[in-house]
């Protein structure tokens, strides 16, 4: 059988190492040369004839991490890997899935096509912001969900007395998938984004009734969406916790800390340094390892972890 190999970019080597350990394969090295003018040159080592999984979320610094991913894929192809899968747990540029003003680019499509052009045979993502990724990608996309892991981590604490809150209309499907696992009702915050960093809540649809509110979103960027949701829930909920698929928390951490939310559970699709309460990290390594093992053995992916 073709040997399985995990290759790590520099965006999240800890996650790549955890995945390799669960798969019981060689730990992924991560060799990256930097030229004095800022160019990068990653080196993948020997991958000839292997079934290679390149783990590289395109998290901040997004542009550097996208380019490194493309170079890694090209290096694998030129080293004659038997099959190359880009494992991009957090897919940057997914919010650019349509043009909102004349003169803009379609960033999602540009990045998806670049990944295929660089040499990936297949793409694996977790909770991408848009379902359009699969339609614009020239290569097959496996879309995984972290919702079961997040629900398992959070919900036992509320004993079936919670409301799952979508902090905007785009998060309703996510909240419904979470609620399908826990049996809780769903509520929705209608939001208005005034700027990149400022969001206001217009109204709450659904009843919270002093139960625990579990706010579920695909990602936290500046924290503006969550701040607006917490504002409207503050006097309606007995407790507020947050579950997010991706947490590039660097910019948002202080903002969320000030809100006084009891728990903010994010996954490690994006690398985190030391995390202190209220933040908690729920690792997606088991999810990726399970998916990679299935793909390597040409088995269907576990239905619980595939986003529909």
Query: Could you give the residue numbers annotated as active site?
Result: 191
Q: What is the DSSP string of 23-47?
A: HT-PPPP-EEEE-TTS-EEEE----
What distances in angstroms separate CA 34 from CA 43, 64, 201, 230, one per listed residue?
11, 12, 45, 43
Does residue 29 bind ligand R5P (CB under 6 A)? Answer: no
**What binding mask, one character per residue, do residues 248-277 give for ligand R5P by CB under 6 A, x or -?**
----x-------------------------
Does residue 218 bind ligand R5P (CB under 6 A)? Answer: yes
Among 219, 232, 242, 270, binds ligand R5P (CB under 6 A): 219
Among 65, 221, 267, 269, binds ligand R5P (CB under 6 A): 221
Nearer to ligand R5P, 79 or 143 (CB): 143
Among 112, 220, 265, 288, binds ligand R5P (CB under 6 A): 220
Nearer to ligand R5P, 252 or 288 (CB): 252
**What binding mask, one character per residue, do residues 188-207 give for ligand R5P by CB under 6 A, x or -?**
-----------x--------
Q: Tell me if 215 sits within 8 A of 230, measured CB to CB.
A: yes
Does residue 217 bind ligand R5P (CB under 6 A)? Answer: yes
CB of 224 vs ligand R5P, minimal distance in Å? 4
Q: How far apart are CA 96 and CA 117, in angstroms?
A: 19
What distances in angstroms separate CA 124 from CA 143, 184, 214, 278, one per listed residue?
6, 30, 27, 30
Among the candidate windows 20-28, 165-173, 231-239, 256-264, which touches ligand R5P by CB under 6 A?
A: 165-173
Radius of gyration of the chain from Cα atoms?
20
CB of 129 vs ligand R5P, minimal distance in Å? 6
Does residue 127 bind ligand R5P (CB under 6 A)? Answer: no
Does residue 290 bind ligand R5P (CB under 6 A)? Answer: no
Q: Which residues are 186's β-sheet partners?
A: 164
- Could you tell me the two tokens for 65? 């991490």
Does residue 96 bind ligand R5P (CB under 6 A)? Answer: no
Does residue 146 bind ligand R5P (CB under 6 A)? Answer: no
Q: Please, which of residues 223-252 interact with ligand R5P by CB under 6 A? A: 223-225, 252
Does residue 166 bind ligand R5P (CB under 6 A)? Answer: no
Q: How far apart are CA 307 and CA 271, in angstroms?
A: 22
Closest to 165 (Cα-Cα) out of 213, 236, 219, 103: 213
Does residue 222 bind ligand R5P (CB under 6 A)? Answer: yes
Closest to 162 (Cα-Cα) out of 277, 263, 306, 304: 263
Q: Tell me if 189 sits within 8 A of 243, measured CB to CB.
A: no
CB of 273 vs ligand R5P, minimal distance in Å? 19
**Sequence-separated (6 or more) residues with CB below 8 Å from residue 169:** 188, 190
Among the candidate windows 32-40, 41-49, 149-157, 212-220, which touches ligand R5P by CB under 6 A?
A: 212-220
Closest to 111 (Cα-Cα) out of 75, 141, 79: 141
Residue ranges binding ligand R5P (CB under 6 A): 129, 168, 170-171, 199, 217-225, 252
């Amino acid at each position: 059988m073709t040997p399985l190999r995990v290759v790590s970019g520099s965006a999240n080597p800890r996650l790549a190492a955890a995945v390799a350990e669960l798969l019981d394969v060689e730990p992924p090295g991560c060799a990256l040369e930097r030229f004095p003018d800022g160019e990068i040159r990653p080196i993948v080592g020997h991958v000839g004839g292997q079934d290679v999984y390149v783990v590289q979320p395109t998290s901040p610094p997004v542009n550097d991490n996208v380019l490194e991913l493309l170079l890694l894929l090209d290096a694998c192809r030129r080293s004659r890997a038997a099959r190359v899968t880009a494992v991009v747990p957090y897919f940057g540029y997914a919010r650019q899935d349509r043009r909102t003003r004349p003169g803009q680019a379609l960033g999602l499509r540009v990045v998806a096509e670049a990944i295929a052009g660089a040499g990936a045979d297949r793409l694996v993502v977790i909770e991408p912001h848009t379902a359009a990724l699969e339609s614009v990608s020239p290569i097959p996309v496996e879309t995984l969900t972290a919702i079961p892991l997040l629900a398992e981590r959070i919900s036992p604490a509320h004993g079936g007395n919670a409301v799952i809150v979508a902090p905007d209309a785009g998060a309703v499907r996510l909240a419904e998938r979470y609620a399908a696992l826990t049996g809780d009702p769903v509520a929705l915050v209608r939001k208005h984004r005034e700027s990149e960093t400022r969001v206001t809540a217009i109204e709450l649809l659904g009843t919270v009734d002093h139960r625990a509110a579990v706010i579920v979103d695909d990602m936290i960027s500046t924290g503006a969406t969550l701040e607006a949701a917490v504002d409207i829930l503050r006097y309606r909920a007995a407790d507020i916790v947050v579950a997010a698929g991706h947490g590039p928390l660097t910019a948002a951490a202080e903002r969320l800390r000030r809100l006084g939310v009891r728990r903010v559970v994010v996954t490690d699709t994006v690398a985190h340094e030391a995390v202190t309460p209220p933040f908690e990290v729920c690792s997606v390594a088991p999810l990726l390892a399970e998916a990679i093992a299935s793909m390597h053995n040409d088995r269907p992916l576990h239905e619980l972890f595939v986003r529909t």
